[in-house]
Structure 1
Amino acid sequence: MGLLKNFSLAATTALRHVSDDPVVLVLQLSRRLPAKIVQPAAKAVCKAMPSSTAPAALIAAHVAGDSNGLERRLESARANGVSGNRARLAADIALAAGQPEWADQFLPAAAGSARLPATVARRKWYDGDMSGAVAALAGQRGSLGRHHDRLAGELKTFSGWTPLLPSVHMVPVPGRVLHFLTNSLPHTASGYAQRSHSIMAAQRDAGWDVLAVTRLGYPVQVGKVLAEEQDVVDGITYQRLLPPRMAATADARMQQEAEELLRAALEFRPEVLHTTTHFANGLVVDAVARALGIPWVYEVRGQLADTWASTRADAAKESQRYLEFQAREASVMNAASSVFTLGETMKDSIVAAGIPAEKVLLAPNAVGGEFLGEPKNHVQARSTLGLDPDLSYIGTVSSLVDYEGMDDLLDAFAILSPDFPKLRLLIVGSGTSAPSLQDQAKRLGLSNKVIFTGRVPRESTPIYHAALDIFVVPRKDLAVTRAVTPLKPVEALASARPVVASNLPALREIVEDNVNGRLSAADDPADLATVLSGLLTDPELRKRLGAVGRSRVLETRTWAANAAAYSAEYKKAVKLSLESRSGTHD
């Protein structure tokens, strides 16, 4: 029955994507399948159709990471005067590839295509003009009408709508906390999932009874059709909300999610709820907490409005989506009993949004488990990974997305390579930028010196850290990277490896120049190469910086310390809640 329910859920989700945006569905499927299958297939299509402007060839060029090839094909399509549905599909593919200026060139030629209103809506939605996107589909029927309803439902969640639940009597069990999560282990190995797991494991070790509940439809919606309704990882229970069918619009799904989470909470009977960005999680948990009369805390792990805006022109920060996103985040933070965040820079941003400073507490990215033990030396780590121990390695463990700046790291490595013939670049991780980065390495003539591992099991990351001479965080200078402190460099410091990071406020909270690492100018491969060169020629400095980095992390950044901070705040929130309900609180 569970499998039938999952297949029903997956099928209805896929059909909705086919109706709304088939191009995005194809791209999402390409990212879910193994890269060792998808990449050769995409490159084979490009080779077999070297000058084609057919939609399949455009998609293949994008999936293969051949940005130059995609642009060449789009230019050819424009020059050849494609029109009607072919022009509309070209616009859709350009939008999916993050090239709205190309979409704008094809849209006028798409007049007459029956599905043109959907592409116009996508174009407006891309810019953050949510009301304009909804208006573009007004009066449509059939699948376009359903698309209108879905966009209108999402706009409602940004514009003040909240799920509503009746009050329910529940006697909480002291010492129980329920975490509501966007994703989790073992199905997602992101920094988000790892941080959540580390927090809950530390809380369990501190005596809390912990339950994690993941968002409605996860992980079936990300392709894990065989998922069970419950997973237990290292003693932490992850409960799934997997109905056979999800409501058709975002507001209705959020209401459905709140009702499902309420049922899970009534069964577990926590005394406090804990959730994380973004605001959709907060709205659902706030509704459940109000229904049960218990407190909840909100953990701000990122500034997702800025993450969205980072892939768009500066005007995105004046868009409806951005402004309403920020307003909803502020309202959720105000509703929570307390707010936790990763660092001082993020706290300053939260306070600037109108949240009282005394309500905002720090729970920085931290380490535990194997990172607390003595790290392996380079030779041991490299031998285990099958790397030549006689070579030198710089690199990173990261999600491969544009704002991480891996293209700048590749350019810096190209500058270094002639002077350091035994140097290799190790890039551990996966993400949407992986194909274009591999293509860049090929164009630079460095394919034999750059190692892309793809995604690796989370338990393997300590040994990859240990294999490196220098860990690099080459983040771009964007609002999101100036504010958000990543997890992986903290783990690198715990591994006694010096960190070279972009000179950005959030990263300066982790890396102190010439103390535990070095800072380099963001978006400047030449300066990054200069800083790396100085460390590569000074092994004693690398050793000293690494030793200081490890010592500081073990003193100030452990999950056990964070668990103690959460525990104190939970108890305070529960006490205030009880006093408020009994009428004894002033």
Structure 2
Amino acid sequence: MTPRPRELARNLVLGVSTAAGMAAEDPSLLLVQAARRLPTRVRHGVVRLLLAGAPSPQRRAVGAWLGGHDGEARELLSAVLTGARPGSHPVLAEIGVLLDVPGAHLAGSRATAARAALRRGEVSRAVELARGTPLAARFASERCAMTPGHDLRTLPAAALSAASTAGTAGTAASPPRALHVLTNSFPHTPSGYAVRSHQVLLAQREAGVAVEAVTRVGYPITVGKAFARHRDVVDGVGYSRLVPWRSARTPGARLQQQLEELRPLARRYRPTVLHTTTNYTNALVTRALARELGVPWVYEARGVLEDTWVASFPPHLREAAAASEKHALLRARELEVACSADRVVTLSEVLREDLVARGVPRDRTRVVPNGVDGRLLEVREAPAAARWALGLPGEGFWVGTVSSLVAYEGLDTLLRAVALARAEGVDVRAALVGDGVSAPGLGRLSEDLGLGESVIMPGRVTTAQAERWYLALDAFAVPRVDSAVTRSVTPLKPVTAMALGRPVIASDLPALREVTGGAALFSQAESPESVAQAILRLARNQDARDELAAAGRAEAAQRTWNSLGRRYRAMYEEVVSA
């Protein structure tokens, strides 16, 4: 739907002012970020231009980076930037920092050096380096926000009394009214986070809970959706947007702005409980609002923030990241907000035990795993038929995923496994459906392995299209790397594949054993040979595929969202009446 004139005006003013602020504060980074977000076709065209003729080492380095050849780009940048004068290559230095090229920041500005320190997790050092630069206020505010003990300003005592009437719409004897404070949502972001959020809202509504959702301040305008409405209704669920005329300049100020923008909406909706999800920024806003309204709040820990951050580094840098100041701050901050919530929801027993071991009271924790739409259990379609509908070849054994293409998913292992399986004379093919920072590198690896047309990478697809891609696979792969975050955080995608009757091949990690109920074929993490053996076993044995698919579907039938919605209602009624 087209936004109303006043909505459009506000969107445009916010978008332009945000971009202008970023350009004034950090022009080199803005240029690099914009380049990374170019559509695939445009990015490939830019790469061709950069590499045309006899390109300089600088052009070759940028072309390699945009083309997903990170290793080549790292080598070229190391040669170009070594010994370069300070400030002589600001854009190349920014790319070098992103690629963890040692000393790359020395060829950039003081701001680049500050950002490199923050990238390494040296938070206080980054704040020190940023002094006297346009980044000073932002870095200081970011450190303050992630430091335990910092809180948002709330209404004074006289106003709190008036605000508390917002929670009087429900009582312990009436259905709960839940307001969900989210990072992003449908229809603008089709991520796993948004999928779970939407399914939780639908399940709660089915269980008799009145639900409404609101997303972070500025979203979705600040992610490029200039023509977005300020309220969307998806499947009958309302998603309100907090769109100010201008965005506050620092992270802490934006959280305060979000609280102030959220306050009138909450008073109109009159919730009896607030519900938010990781990370701590959502929790700070929700906790402050709950105090003002005099209602309980729930914190849904969908992951381990500091371990997810560590997993974004190359393997040889993860140990240093895990020992950094940033890791310690994030860990302490997440524990603090979790301990202050009335209830903490986790997606797995593994994650629950981890939080309890850290100090979260066990009696305040609840497990609500990823579920599935019960409708999927009734879908019956052969993989070849689904591929035909997508315009793909019916022949071959297709293995793949529908996921964000990021490093910890281990999809490079899957591509190497496909190459090994094909070397055994079996027509194995792969589909990697989705987008992410690893996409260019995976495309290059596929070329290097000589996989050619046996690998399909269609990019990001809609939720409706995603179901068809699940069905097009003969086996669904979750070849996650072995890391702290993958051992404790359970993904949604294997349960969806199981409900649709597709056998799952998964890394042998605690979180994946739990989320699949053991109804998967497990392989050694980060071992192409082990994954290849699992692929070949299923490719050569239809009975094995059918048996695993049936077991997976039976397991998924125990995890429908409707049944999980009742768990949420019981929890809400418990905290409202406490």
The question of a shared fold, defined as TM-score above 0.5 by the shorter chain, is answered with yes
Task: Report the Cα offset of residue 126 of structure 1.
Answer: 0.8
Counterpart for residue 47 of structure 2: 43
> Does 2:119 correspond to 1:126?
yes
1:475 to 470, 475, 480: 480
Counterpart for residue 87 of structure 2: 85
Deviations 1:384-427 (A, max 9, x none): 11122222211111110011011111111111112244321111
1:73 to 72, 76, 82: 76
**Cα distance in structure 2, aligned partners of 1:90 and 1:379:** 46
Equivalences for residues 102-141 of structure 1 within 5 A:
104=103, 106-108=104-106, 110=107, 116-138=109-131, 140=132
> Matched residue of 1:448: which SS?
helix
Q: Which amino acid aligns with 1:188?
A: T
Say if 2:491 and 2:515, in contact at 8 Å, map to a contact too. Answer: no
**Cα distance in structure 2, aligned partners of 1:329 and 1:539:** 46
TM-score by length of structure 2 reads: 0.93
> Aligned pair in 2 of structure 1 residues 287, 43: CA closer, same or farther (>3 Å)?
same
Say if 1:216 and 1:242, in contact at 8 Å, map to a contact too. Answer: yes
Task: Report the Cα offset of residue 27 of structure 1.
Answer: 3.9
> Matched residue of 2:552: which SS?
helix
Equivalences for residues 283-302 of structure 1 within 5 A:
283-302=284-303
**Cα distance in structure 1, aligned partners of 2:60 and 2:29:** 15
Task: Report the Cα offset of residue 150 of structure 1.
Answer: 0.8
Counterpart for residue 169 of structure 1: 164
1:158 to 146, 167, 170: 146
By relative contact order (CA 8 Å, sep 6+), the higher-ranking structure is: 2
Counterpart for residue 571 of structure 2: 569
Q: Which amino acid aligns with 1:96?
A: L
Q: Which amino acid aligns with 1:553?
A: A
> Does 2:461 correspond to 1:456?
yes
Q: Which amino acid aligns with 2:287?
A: D
> Does 2:443 correspond to 1:438?
yes
Task: Report the Cα offset of residue 130 of structure 1.
Answer: 1.1
Q: Which amino acid aligns with 1:543?
A: D
> Matched residue of 1:396: which SS?
strand
**Cα distance in structure 2, aligned partners of 1:369 and 1:386:** 28
> Matched residue of 1:307: which SS?
helix
Task: Report the Cα offset of residue 156 of structure 1.
Answer: 0.7
Equivalences for residues 113-512 of structure 1 within 5 A:
116-138=109-131, 140=132, 144=133, 146-159=134-147, 160-166=149-155, 167=160, 168-172=163-167, 173-174=169-170, 175-312=176-313, 313=317, 314-368=319-373, 370-511=375-516
> Matched residue of 1:500: which SS?
strand
**Cα distance in structure 1, aligned partners of 2:224 and 2:336:** 33
Counterpart for residue 173 of structure 2: none
Counterpart for residue 523 of structure 1: 526
**Cα distance in structure 2, aligned partners of 1:461 and 1:161:** 41
Deviations 1:56-89 (A, max 9, x none): 653332121022331342144146x532323444
Deviations 1:24-59 (A, max 9, x none): 423433454432222x223213422654233x6533
Deviations 1:238-281 (A, max 9, x none): 10000011111111111111111111100111111100000110
**Cα distance in structure 1, aligned partners of 2:323 and 2:350:** 22
Counterpart for residue 561 of structure 2: 559
> Matched residue of 1:509: which SS?
helix
**Cα distance in structure 2, aligned partners of 1:263 and 1:281:** 17
> Matched residue of 1:497: which SS?
coil
**Cα distance in structure 2, aligned partners of 1:50 and 1:232:** 53
Counterpart for residue 583 of structure 1: none
Counterpart for residue 580 of structure 1: none
Task: Report the Cα offset of residue 207 of structure 1.
Answer: 1.9
**Cα distance in structure 2, aligned partners of 1:25 and 1:189:** 24
**Cα distance in structure 2, aligned partners of 1:527 and 1:380:** 29
Q: Which amino acid aligns with 1:170?
A: T
> Matched residue of 1:412: which SS?
helix
TM-score by length of structure 1 reads: 0.91
Deviations 1:536-560 (A, max 9, x none): 11110110010011011112x1111
Deviations 1:303-331 (A, max 9, x none): 11111111332121222211111111111
> Matched residue of 1:228: which SS?
coil
Task: Report the Cα offset of residue 369 of structure 1.
Answer: 5.2
> Aligned pair in 2 of structure 1 residues 95, 35: CA closer, same or farther (>3 Å)?
same
Task: Report the Cα offset of residue 147 of structure 1.
Answer: 1.0
Deviations 1:82-137 (A, max 9, x none): 3232344433211123x242xx1x444x3xxxx72211111110111111111112
Deviations 1:204-260 (A, max 9, x none): 122222111000010011111111111111111110000011111111111111111
Worse overlay, 403-412 or 315-324: 315-324
Task: Report the Cα offset of residue 432 of structure 1.
Answer: 0.7
Identity %: 40
> Matched residue of 1:170: which SS?
helix
Q: How many residue pairs are counted as aligned between the two chains?
A: 556
Task: Report the Cα offset of residue 348 of structure 1.
Answer: 1.1
> Aligned pair in 2 of structure 1 residues 24, 480: CA closer, same or farther (>3 Å)?
farther
Counterpart for residue 581 of structure 1: none
Task: Report the Cα offset of residue 181 of structure 1.
Answer: 0.3
**Cα distance in structure 1, aligned partners of 2:374 and 2:24:** 46
**Cα distance in structure 2, aligned partners of 1:59 and 1:210:** 47
**Cα distance in structure 2, aligned partners of 1:485 and 1:96:** 28
Counterpart for residue 94 of structure 1: 96
Say if 2:374 and 2:560, in contact at 8 Å, map to a contact too. Answer: no
> Matched residue of 1:480: which SS?
helix
> Aligned pair in 2 of structure 1 residues 311, 546: CA closer, same or farther (>3 Å)?
same
Say if 1:397 and 1:428, in contact at 8 Å, map to a contact too. Answer: yes
Say if 1:425 and 1:451, in contact at 8 Å, map to a contact too. Answer: yes
Worse overlay, 181-190 or 363-372: 363-372
Unaligned runs of 5+ in 2: 1-5, 171-175
2:545 to 542, 547, 553: 542
Worse overlay, 331-340 or 461-470: 461-470
> Matched residue of 1:299: which SS?
strand
> Matched residue of 1:178: which SS?
strand
